[in-house]
Chain A
Amino acid sequence: MEHESVPLYWRNIPAYYRLVAKRCKKCGEVYYPPVVKCTKCGSAELEDYQLPHEGELVEFTVLRSVPTDFLKQKPLVIGLVKLGPVKVLGQIVDAMPEKLKPGQRMEVVFRRVVVDGKYGLVMYGYKFRPRP
């Protein structure tokens, strides 16, 4: 599979690692993934906005047919988690799907997301898991 390029991964590190979002300085709208222009008011003046690392599970689904980078992690649990003002999509780990319930407390964790073969870069990023 074609992975994200090393420069692109590097540019996205604050967003991937720490969930640094963007907030419009004019109207206050928050964007994750980050954007360069506010789609609500059109302003290009955005500032970094740190999302909280805990939130509430909104929805989740269990994928049994998965992208090639995740073939060895079937089934893949993907969830939408409300983190402050935004809902963020991500993988859910360390959980039995039958025990997950919308509304439950989730925490952000730091995990391997893509490993570029045997010799390439290990790309890290956020995932979610039930808050212990």
Chain B
Amino acid sequence: MKVGIVSWGAYIPKYRIRTEDIAATWGDDPQRIIDIYLVYEKSVEGYDEDAVTIATEAARRALRRGNVDPKKIGAVYSGTESKPYAVKPISSILIDALGLPNNVFAVDMEFACKAASDGIVAITGLVESGRIEYGLAVGTDTSQGEPGEHLDYSASSGGVAYVIGKDGVAAEFEAIYTYNSDTPDFWRREGSPYPMHGEGFTGEPAYFRHVVGAAKGVMEKYGYKVSDFAYAIFHQPNGRFPMRAATILGFPPEKVKPGIVVTHIGNTYNASALMGLARVLEQAKPGDKILLVTFGSGAGSNAFVLNVTDAVLERQKADVPKVDEMLADKIYVDYATYLKNRKMIKLFE
């Protein structure tokens, strides 16, 4: 049996802000903003939530869905770019929040929105080598953009967790390929509250070069063609980029749309493409092949070919909230509450 995804869990905070409410605050035309980004609303964390609490909820759901004994987890890797602490890992808090053993490899990983998928790659290696039985890869973020600027319309909050192992695999990893380079598209210096963009770098030299490069790479190296796949999922900084990547690669829209969640929760960064994967796994059939391509600024992409197995049917029946249920379960907040919940209002502390 190949190594693969044994179980998954997703968590979307309950609060949402509408694009029109952000636009009204800053004097933008909401229809124009929606046309540019195809983001209608985005998720907002509660006042007492952060990347740690979001990671915990997603991971608890992943363990519950697969009925995985936490004591069998041998590695926990968290991909994030919004750690509550500059120094103090999320992954070590997860050990005690989830009841993992102390003999568990634990580290936080950073590569903008891509790190969680690097956690999956690393854990796949540890499982393949026989060093661990199961590992937990987590993507969690509460990412921010400067208020009133482009990212304010998309940067959002959410988390996903994947249990990787050899037993009870619901989706096998058939192939993995990576494409990375030094690209100055997006960065945030130490102590800087908001990230910055390299003028003109976001699209072609960053997102499309790496996403398409990794997708083509995995298909050419391992001999796949577009028609082999039931679904293709791409990192989704907005609603337009993944559709365009699909067009460049020749995927029809109906294979891409099931994995798109950005339109209603925004860009959850390390949980972005992996949230799309969770949604697809909740509807996939045994035998379906899935192409998953993550992306992180800086820049790089990991491409995965997954083959869905019979075990997916059991996982789909588990009493765990589905992505679609979380998309529908929401409380709208106004822009002031949004700023409060995201700790963007300066208070005496």
Residue numbers of A with Cβ under 8 A of B are 13-14, 17-18, 53, 72-73, 93-94, 96, 109-113, 115, 117-118, 122, 124, 127, 132
CB A76 to nearest CB in B, in angstroms, measures 11
Judge whether A93 and B48 touch: CB under 8 Å.
Answer: yes
Q: Is the CB of B96 within 8 A of A13?
A: yes
Q: Across the A-B interface, how many residue pairs have beta carbons closer than 8 Å?
A: 53
Partner of B57, one of A110, A112, A115: A110
**Which residues of B lie under 8 Å from residue A72 when comparing CB positions?**
47, 340, 347
Cβ 8 A contact of B50, one of A93, A94, A122: A122
* Complex CA–CA separation, A73 to B46 (angstroms): 10
**B84 neighbours in A (Cβ, 8 Å):** 122
The reply to whether the CB of B180 lies closer than 8 angstroms to some CB of chain A is no
CB-based contact B53/A124 at 8 Å:
yes
Given contacts A73-B47, A96-B331, A122-B50, 14 further A-B contacts (CB under 8 A): A17-B97, A53-B60, A93-B46, A110-B57, A110-B60, A111-B48, A112-B53, A113-B48, A122-B52, A122-B84, A124-B52, A124-B93, A132-B321, A132-B325
User: Is B49 an interface residue, CB under 8 A from the partner?
Assistant: yes
B43 within 8 A of A: no
User: Is B14 in the interface zone, CB < 8 Å from A?
Assistant: yes
> Is residue B24 within 8 Å, beta carbon to beta carbon, of the partner chain?
no
Q: Which of A14, A18, A53, A112 contacts B49 (CB 8 A)?
A: A112
Residues of A contacting B60 in the complex (Cβ-Cβ under 8 angstroms): 53, 110
For residue A94, which residues in chain B have a CB less than 8 angstroms away from its CB?
A: 14, 46, 331
Q: How far is the CB of A67 from chain B (nearest CB, A)?
A: 14
Separation in Å of the A87 CB from the closest CB of chain B? Answer: 22
B314 interface residue per 8 A CB criterion: no
| Distance between Cα atoms of A124 and B55 in the complex (Å) | 13
* CB-based nearest B residue for A91: B48
Closest chain A residue to B343, Cβ basis: A115
**A-facing mask of B301-325, CB < 8 A → 1, else 0?**
0000000000000000000010001
